[in-house]
Amino acid sequence: MKSPALIFLAAFLVNNIVLMRFLGLCPFFGVSSTIETATGMGMAVIFVMTIAAWITWIVFNVVLLPLNLVFLRTAVFILTIASLVQLVEMFLKKSYRALYNALGIYLPLITTNCAILGVTFLNIDNKFSLLNGTVFAIGTGLGFTLVIITFAAIRERLDLAPINPSLRGYPISFIAASLMALAFLGFSGLFGLT
Amino acid sequence: MTKLNIFTRGLVKENAVFVLMIGLCPALAVSSTVRDGFGMGLAATFVLVFSNLIISILRKNIPNEVRIPIFILVISTFVTIIDYMMQAFQPDLYRALGVFVPLIVVNCMILGRAEAYASKSSVVNSILDGLGTGLGFTLALTIMGTIREILGNGTFLGLTVFGESFRSAPVIFMIMSPGAFLVIGILKALINKYVKRELR
């Protein structure tokens, strides 16, 4: 069993959710046009990912496993996450207005973010304990935030650069992401993690 | 719109990956070999055709306010079916695709077709639309898988392409994650440059 610190590092850098696992690419390309929106999205992802990891872990281990309903995993998880996001949104709106103003518009987008559902599946597939699952979710969320903010910074500069018209927009963003992924490949093997 | 048009629209003109840029996660993650890309494409096509069929049959009975959860339930049913079928009949492919098989459920291409097309159209048209969109997705993944497998592994479907000397030292980063971003970036740039605007 790996220690929580190694699980965190693996999720944060070595197996980065966006650049190495290819999850959450829609927000990665969709809301990374400015650093400000990227930061908001990153924070919202960390927040929801951690809560979703707890709830789905409990649902899976307390409800689905004892009742032998593992085949319902996909349907139950997606519905759990969708309703969770709604609840979180309503709760923040009523109780933490400042936080809601900062994260509010990103919360509905998160329901269809495959990174959230992906992390809950990976938690179950890796048979993590609740503590390790939490660490994994936070590490993954931080990794997502790091990459999306860095990418937003690059894209802000790319907008000003003289680029061939057929490369403008998506193509040059993909090529920039490719170079970032190449840099992140350098982390593989860190502390023996692959 | 003729039946053929409905089919070819999703296949080429509104290709999910290369034109609309949706369904990117599986398109990049599981296109490192031709077999993985083709298998993933067919799995998504299966889900798309059957969810379009069911949603189109039920379209007059689904209340408008709760349509999205119902679509998601229908889609996740077929995702679970393909998940277990692949586990039973194609265990090697299932292992290679990993978490991306259950994640078909959040592929926005499938929910998008349910919402934009199947919930408003006849059964036959919905099936054709699902088939076209799904095969367009398969085509995109297969093209990417072909390029990446030939350059990154020196093989096509496991057969050596450029001889043993290339096979022993291929452009290995093409089958790793940077290669996926690079290939789709270059393909998209070529589409921008050479495909006429009215065709897109």
The pLDDT tens digits for A139-194 are: 999 999 999 999 999 999 988 889 888 888 889 999 999 999 999 988 888 777 76
Q: Which of B69, B99, B111 sits opposite A121 (nearest CB)?
A: B99
Task: Name every residue whose Cβ is closer than 8 Å to that of residue A135 and which is 6 or more positions away in sequence.
Answer: A4, A7, A8, A11
For residue A64, give the amino acid letter: L
Q: Which two tokens stand for residue B38?
A: 């083709």
pLDDT at B199 over 60: no
CA distance B131 to B18: 17
pLDDT given for residue B14 in this prediction: 85
A28 Cα to chain B: minimum distance (Å):
11
Is A128 part of the contact surface with chain B (CB cutoff 8 Å)?
Answer: no
3-state DSSP call for residue A120?
helix
> Using an 8 Å Cβ cutoff, are B119 and B93 in contact?
no
Q: Which of B29, B105, B188 sits opposite A170 (nearest CB)?
A: B188
Give a yes or no: residue B156 inside a domain. Answer: no
> Using an 8 Å Cβ cutoff, are B110 and B51 in contact?
yes
Is B115 part of the contact surface with chain A (CB cutoff 8 Å)?
Answer: no
pLDDT tens, position by position, A25-61: 888 888 888 888 888 888 888 988 999 999 999 999 9
User: Average pLDDT of B76-105?
Assistant: 92
Binary contact (B185, A114; C-beta < 8 A): no
Q: Which two tokens stand for residue A25?
A: 């690419």
Q: How many CB atoms lie within 10 A of CB A190?
A: 13
List the one residue out of A192, A184, A149, A151 whose CA is nearest residue A12: A184
Binary contact (B21, A178; C-beta < 8 A): no
User: Average pLDDT of B58-63?
Assistant: 90
Average pLDDT, chain A: 87
pLDDT at B134 over 90: yes
DSSP B172: G
pLDDT category of residue B163 using cuts at 50, 70 and 90? confident
User: Average pLDDT of B87-115?
Assistant: 90
CA distance A8 to A2: 10
A187 Cα to chain B: minimum distance (Å):
13
pLDDT category of residue A62 using cuts at 50, 70 and 90? very high
Q: Specify the number of domains making up chain B.
A: 1
Residues of chain B with Cβ-Cβ distance to A120 below 8 Å are none
CA distance B34 to B148: 8
pLDDT at B25 over 90: no
pLDDT given for residue A94 in this prediction: 87
List the one residue out of B106, B130, B109 whose CA is nearest residue B118: B130
**Lowest mean pLDDT, pick from A96-110, A169-183, B85-99:** A96-110
Binary contact (A167, B29; C-beta < 8 A): no
What is the share, in percent, of chain B residues with pLDDT greater than 90? 47
Q: How many CB atoms lie within 10 A of CB B35?
A: 18
User: Average pLDDT of A94-103?
Assistant: 79
pLDDT given for residue B39 in this prediction: 93
pLDDT given for residue B130 in this prediction: 94
Query: What ipTM was reported for this prediction?
Result: 0.86
Interface with chain B: mutation pick from A19, A29, A56, A114, highest number of B CBs within 10 Å: A114
Residues of chain B with Cβ-Cβ distance to A72 below 8 Å are 80
3-state DSSP call for residue A50?
helix
Give a yes or no: residue B177 inside a domain. Answer: no
pLDDT given for residue A79 in this prediction: 87
Q: Which residue of A has its CA nearest to B22?
A: A26
**Lowest mean pLDDT, pick from A101-105, B1-5, B65-69, B162-166:** A101-105
Residue by residue, what is the 3-state secondary structure of B34-64?
HHHHHHHHHHHHHHHHHHHHHHHHCCCCCCH
For residue A66, give the amino acid letter: P
Is A155 part of the contact surface with chain B (CB cutoff 8 Å)?
Answer: no
Q: Which of residues 124-183 of B touch A (CB under 8 A)?
A: 173, 176-182
Q: Which two tokens stand for residue A45?
A: 């992802």
pLDDT at A104 over 80: no
pLDDT given for residue A151 in this prediction: 94
pLDDT tens, position by position, A108-142: 777 667 889 999 999 998 889 999 999 999 999 99
Give a yes or no: residue B57 inside a domain. Answer: yes
Give a yes or no: residue B85 inside a domain. Answer: yes
pLDDT given for residue A1 in this prediction: 58
Q: Which of A78, A168, A171 sits opposite B105 (nearest CB)?
A: A78
Q: Which residue of A has its CA nearest to B69?
A: A79
Is A70 part of the contact surface with chain B (CB cutoff 8 Å)?
Answer: no
Give a yes or no: residue B136 inside a domain. Answer: yes
Binary contact (A167, B192; C-beta < 8 A): yes
Binary contact (B25, A177; C-beta < 8 A): no
pLDDT given for residue B122 in this prediction: 92
For residue B21, give the amino acid letter: M
Residue B16's domain comprises: 3-143
The larger pLDDT score, comparing residue B51 to residue B21, is at B51
A124 Cα to chain B: minimum distance (Å):
11
DSSP A167: G
Is A153 part of the contact surface with chain B (CB cutoff 8 Å)?
Answer: no
Q: Which two tokens stand for residue A80?
A: 């759990």
Binary contact (B25, A114; C-beta < 8 A): yes
The larger pLDDT score, comparing residue B90 to residue B165, is at B90
